[in-house]
């Protein structure tokens, strides 16, 4: 069974500030062998080596999102293990695949990506653009858990060049649609990752850390 491809237009300038010269964009490639498998590939259209390395993130790893003001953002714990490539020595995914088969690629589309403003009330559920791939790979089993097709993102079938062209044309040529999708995605995130959700996650983490320290103290 083929999984649809999740189409993202994610600007990752904050990841590559120290190591990337001006570039036009990145190119995604999908190869479908006769055995029915799907191979994902991509170009990195930079004139320098971005020093990509293989990174592995296990299940149960805790993360805290970044915010413009430097305060803690959204907390999440990985439900699925992931493997992929990073850039510039950073512990973030440029491309990755989780144990359920979900693939996420971070593309560089300068001039097209837009982000909503982060208010003080939103900071506790915020993540930086370069952290989004890790969040999706660690918490989503498939694209249906990551995006609502046509509302917060666009889905294309692997290997369907025409559908990919139409999706990209729709995003590039319609600024209002991009902004609307951004607003819908923001609303979905607020609903899914509200204060109660984060409060429960932080409480569970506090209980676990306390129990670990107590066990270590008894062992000593």
Active site residues: 26
Structure tokens at 155: 């889905």
| Phi and psi based region of residue 133 (left: phi greater than 0; alpha: psi -120 to 50; beta: remaining) | alpha
CA-wise closest residue to 52 among 27, 16, 89, 14: 89
Phi, psi of 82 (to 5 degrees): -135, 155
Cβ-contact 110, 11 below 8 angstroms = yes
For the chain, the helix, strand and coil percentages under 3-state DSSP, each to the nearest 5: 35, 15, 50
Contacts of 207 (CB under 8 A, 6+ apart): none
Structure tokens at 56: 């592995």
| Three-class DSSP category at 12 | coil
């Amino acid at each position: 069974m083929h999984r649809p491809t999740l189409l993202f237009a994610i600007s990752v300038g904050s990841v590559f500030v120290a190591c990337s010269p001006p570039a036009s964009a990145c190119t995604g490639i999908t190869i479908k062998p006769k055995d029915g498998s799907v191979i994902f590939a991509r170009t990195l259209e930079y004139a320098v080596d971005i020093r990509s390395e293989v990174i592995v993130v296990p299940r149960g790893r805790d993360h805290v999102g970044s915010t413009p003001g430097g305060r803690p953002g959204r907390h999440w714990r990985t439900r699925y293990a992931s493997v992929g490539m990073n850039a510039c020595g950073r512990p973030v995914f440029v491309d990755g695949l989780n144990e359920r088969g979900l693939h996420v690629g971070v593309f560089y589309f300068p001039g097209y990506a837009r982000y909503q403003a982060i208010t003080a009330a939103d900071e506790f559920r915020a993540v930086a653009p370069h952290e989004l791939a890790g969040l999706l790979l660690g918490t989503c089993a498939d694209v249906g858990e990551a995006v609502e097709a046509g509302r917060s993102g666009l889905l294309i079938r692997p290997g369907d060049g025409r559908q990919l062209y139409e999706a990209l044309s729709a995003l590039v040529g319609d600024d209002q649609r991009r902004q609307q999708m951004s607003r819908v995605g923001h609303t979905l995130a607020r609903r899914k990752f509200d204060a109660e959700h984060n409060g429960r996650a932080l409480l569970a983490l506090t209980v676990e850390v306390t129990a670990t320290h107590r066990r270590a103290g008894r062992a000593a």
